[in-house]
Chains A and B, each alone.
Chain A
Amino acid sequence: MNIPAELKYTASHEWARLEADGTLTVGITDHAQELLGDLVFVDLPEIGKTFAAGEEACVLESVKAAADAYAPVAGTVTAINETLSSAPESINQDAYAAWLFKLAPANVGDLAGLLDAAGYKASVDAG
């Protein structure tokens, strides 16, 4: 299972990376893209939209099913990955490069509640 050590994770299969400017880049894990199968459409949130932690932020449609991606922590959307609208399959190709959106966290302290790579792996293994 491909779980980069430098990222943070949620049990609902998002990854998150704290950038130098204080924003959080969010995507779905390699394990999640594998479960979903070929992605064909991504419904991204609007810039400026505010989410609570765990709130549905984004819809991913694969050939098989629709799935939600959730905000890992509370925050406001500052950017979205526009390239996904024409190339949703880039998530299948590299889930850690094809980010979904960037979030300005409401409380930087909330990030402490995210899983590290070992914690995420344990969560996946536990089913």
Chain B
Amino acid sequence: MLNTTILNAAHHAQQNARMVDFGGWEMPVHYGSQISEHHAVRRDCGMFDVSHMCAVDLVGIDASRFLRRLLANNVERLKTSGKALYSAMLNESGGIIDDLIVYRRPALVEGQGTPYRLVINAGTAEKDLAWMTARLQDWGLAATLTPLRSGDKAVGMIAVQGPNAKTKVWAALPEIRAATESLPPFFGVAIGELFVATTGYTGEDGFEITLPAAQTEALWNKFLAVGIPPCGLGARDTLRLEAGMNLYGQDMDETVSPLDAGLAWCTELASERDFVGKSALLAHGQRAQFLGLKLLDKGVLRAHQKVFAPQGEGEITSGTFSPTLGFSIALARLPLGVSVGDPLSVEIRGKLLPVQVVKPPFVRHGKALV
């Protein structure tokens, strides 16, 4: 029995929606054409049901202390309410349990600690919650984790992305314009029962809107009415890959260190702060490089294809045809010593094809960067 989001009936109502099992969730992979949906987000805008992801509220006097010890990135960097931070959550061996976004929320009661909202991946939610709950107990910290998944706390999430996303959202929801017009990137703000954030997974502008589950379908329909096309997880994957963003379970998992998954930029090693996995990271150091590849021949790079470099063998972790660029691109784990610009080769069905090493992202704000 697959999990379904609050928008499941709305997806089935779309004539050409193709539903698939995505990590135990019945989700739309596309609504007719993955490539058209991809272009819609790069050139105009599109919306995604991301209600399968799990929002978790964290409150309590020790909430900040807990996150400082739990996460590879440092929540002390969240100087103002609403600011968001991307981080990996590691196990003791330095492997990635999950990647997540944490928002700092306004304090409800002075002196009762800073509240936070975390957004974790769908497929890892139960494991993450068990891990976090166990760490809270081990460390004897006073904070409460509340997943917003069931009962009257249940929420839905809609991501609207693209150069015209904000304008179209404001056309549907004029009442949120004033509060979101000057919201900087990577911020979230509560407006009534909505939580509106300038985050995303496409490399374009836009909003991710969290709201009570019971209101989600009405908002989805409002967005359809102002001409925002629904986009499936297929386009979400090609967009995030072009934007050089990692996908949990594909580019990284519990056996992979953030230093080998291109996440050194959000892993704070050079400070006094201790966090789970830090000693393992310091002991092992970086063991591989995480870089982009562009295919210089016809064909499509795919996950698990082998990459051959003079320094040794690497592996593609995510590969696709890039609809924006018109050729195939990939994220790959490569031996140390490989440099941007190097010509390497990839084995595709027994043939060696030429690729060039590039630095992700491949595309940002509609512009090719490689």
Chain A residues near B (Cβ < 8 Å): 34, 37-38, 40-41, 43, 59, 61, 63-66, 85, 89, 92
| Also in contact, A59 and B349, with CB within 8 A (given A38-B33, A41-B299, A66-B300) | yes
What is the CA–CA distance of A48 and B328 in the complex, to the nearest angstrom?
A: 29
Count contacts on B: residues with CB < 8 A to the other chain: 17
Q: Tell whether B163 is near chain A: CB-to-CB under 8 Å.
A: no
What is the CA–CA distance of A41 and B320 in the complex, to the nearest angstrom?
A: 11
What is the CA–CA distance of A1 and B323 in the complex, to the nearest angstrom?
A: 28
Q: Please tell me which one of the listed residues B34, B298, B299, B302 contacts residue A38 in the complex, with CB atoms under 8 A apart.
A: B34
Q: Please tell me which one of the listed residues A37, A40, A41, A59 contacts residue B30 in the complex, with CB atoms under 8 A apart.
A: A37
Q: Please tell me which one of the listed residues B34, B298, B299 contacts residue A37 in the complex, with CB atoms under 8 A apart.
A: B34
Please determine whether A41 and B35 come into contact, CB atoms closer than 8 angstroms.
Answer: no
Minimum CB–CB distance from B346 to chain A (whole Å) comes to: 13
Q: Tell whether B200 is near chain A: CB-to-CB under 8 Å.
A: no
Please determine whether B234 and A41 come into contact, CB atoms closer than 8 angstroms.
Answer: no
Q: Could you say which of B234, B300, B302, B328 has the most chain A C-beta atoms within 10 Å of its C-beta?
A: B300
Q: Tell whether B321 is near chain A: CB-to-CB under 8 Å.
A: yes
| Also in contact, A63 and B298, with CB within 8 A (given A37-B29, A37-B234, A40-B321) | no
Q: Tell whether B238 is near chain A: CB-to-CB under 8 Å.
A: yes
Please determine whether A66 and B321 come into contact, CB atoms closer than 8 angstroms.
Answer: no
How many A-B residue pairs have C-beta atoms within 8 angstroms? Tell me.
Answer: 40
Please determine whether B349 and A41 come into contact, CB atoms closer than 8 angstroms.
Answer: no
What is the CA–CA distance of A59 and B299 in the complex, to the nearest angstrom?
A: 10
Please determine whether B349 and A64 come into contact, CB atoms closer than 8 angstroms.
Answer: no
Q: List 18 A-B contacts (CB under 8 A).
A: A34-B18, A37-B18, A37-B34, A37-B234, A38-B35, A40-B35, A40-B321, A41-B300, A41-B321, A41-B328, A43-B298, A61-B300, A63-B320, A63-B321, A63-B323, A65-B302, A66-B302, A89-B35
Instruction: Please name the 7 residue pairs, one residue from A and one from B, whose CB atoms are nearest each other, closest first.
Output: A40-B321, A61-B300, A38-B35, A63-B34, A38-B34, A37-B34, A63-B321
What is the CA–CA distance of A114 and B321 in the complex, to the nearest angstrom?
A: 34
Residues of A within 8 A of B35 (CB): 38, 40, 63, 89
What is the CA–CA distance of A63 and B18 in the complex, to the nearest angstrom?
A: 14
Residues of B within 8 A of A64 (CB): 29, 34, 234
What is the CA–CA distance of A2 and B29 in the complex, to the nearest angstrom?
A: 22
Residues of B within 8 A of A61 (CB): 299-300, 321
Residues of A within 8 A of B300 (CB): 40-41, 61, 66
What is the CA–CA distance of A85 and B299 in the complex, to the nearest angstrom?
A: 11
Residues of A within 8 A of B320 (CB): 63
Please determine whether A63 and B299 come into contact, CB atoms closer than 8 angstroms.
Answer: no
What is the CA–CA distance of A40 and B320 in the complex, to the nearest angstrom?
A: 10
What is the CA–CA distance of A41 and B302 in the complex, to the nearest angstrom?
A: 13
What is the CA–CA distance of A113 and B198 in the complex, to the nearest angstrom?
A: 59
Minimum CB–CB distance from B76 to chain A (whole Å) comes to: 41
Residues of B within 8 A of A85 (CB): 298
What is the CA–CA distance of A66 and B305 in the complex, to the nearest angstrom?
A: 13
Residue of B whose beta carbon sits closest to that of A38: B35
What is the CA–CA distance of A38 and B349 in the complex, to the nearest angstrom?
A: 21
What is the CA–CA distance of A85 and B29 in the complex, to the nearest angstrom?
A: 25
Interface of chain B residues 29 through 63 with chain A (CB within 8 A): 29-30, 33-35
Please determine whether B349 and A63 come into contact, CB atoms closer than 8 angstroms.
Answer: no
Please determine whether B298 and A92 come into contact, CB atoms closer than 8 angstroms.
Answer: no
Residues of A within 8 A of B328 (CB): 41
Minimum CB–CB distance from B232 to chain A (whole Å) comes to: 10
What is the CA–CA distance of A101 and B321 in the complex, to the nearest angstrom?
A: 24
What is the CA–CA distance of A34 and B30 in the complex, to the nearest angstrom?
A: 11
Residues of A within 8 A of B34 (CB): 37-38, 63-64
| Also in contact, A41 and B298, with CB within 8 A (given A59-B349, A63-B35, A63-B238) | yes
Residues of B within 8 A of A40 (CB): 35, 300, 321
Q: Could you say which of A40, A61, A63, A64 has the most chain B C-beta atoms within 10 Å of its C-beta?
A: A63
Residues of B within 8 A of A65 (CB): 302
What is the CA–CA distance of A40 and B300 in the complex, to the nearest angstrom?
A: 8
Residues of A within 8 A of B302 (CB): 65-66
What is the CA–CA distance of A37 and B32 in the complex, to the nearest angstrom?
A: 8
What is the CA–CA distance of A111 and B331 in the complex, to the nearest angstrom?
A: 45
Interface of chain B residues 62 through 81 with chain A (CB within 8 A): none
Residue of A whose beta carbon sits closest to that of B349: A59
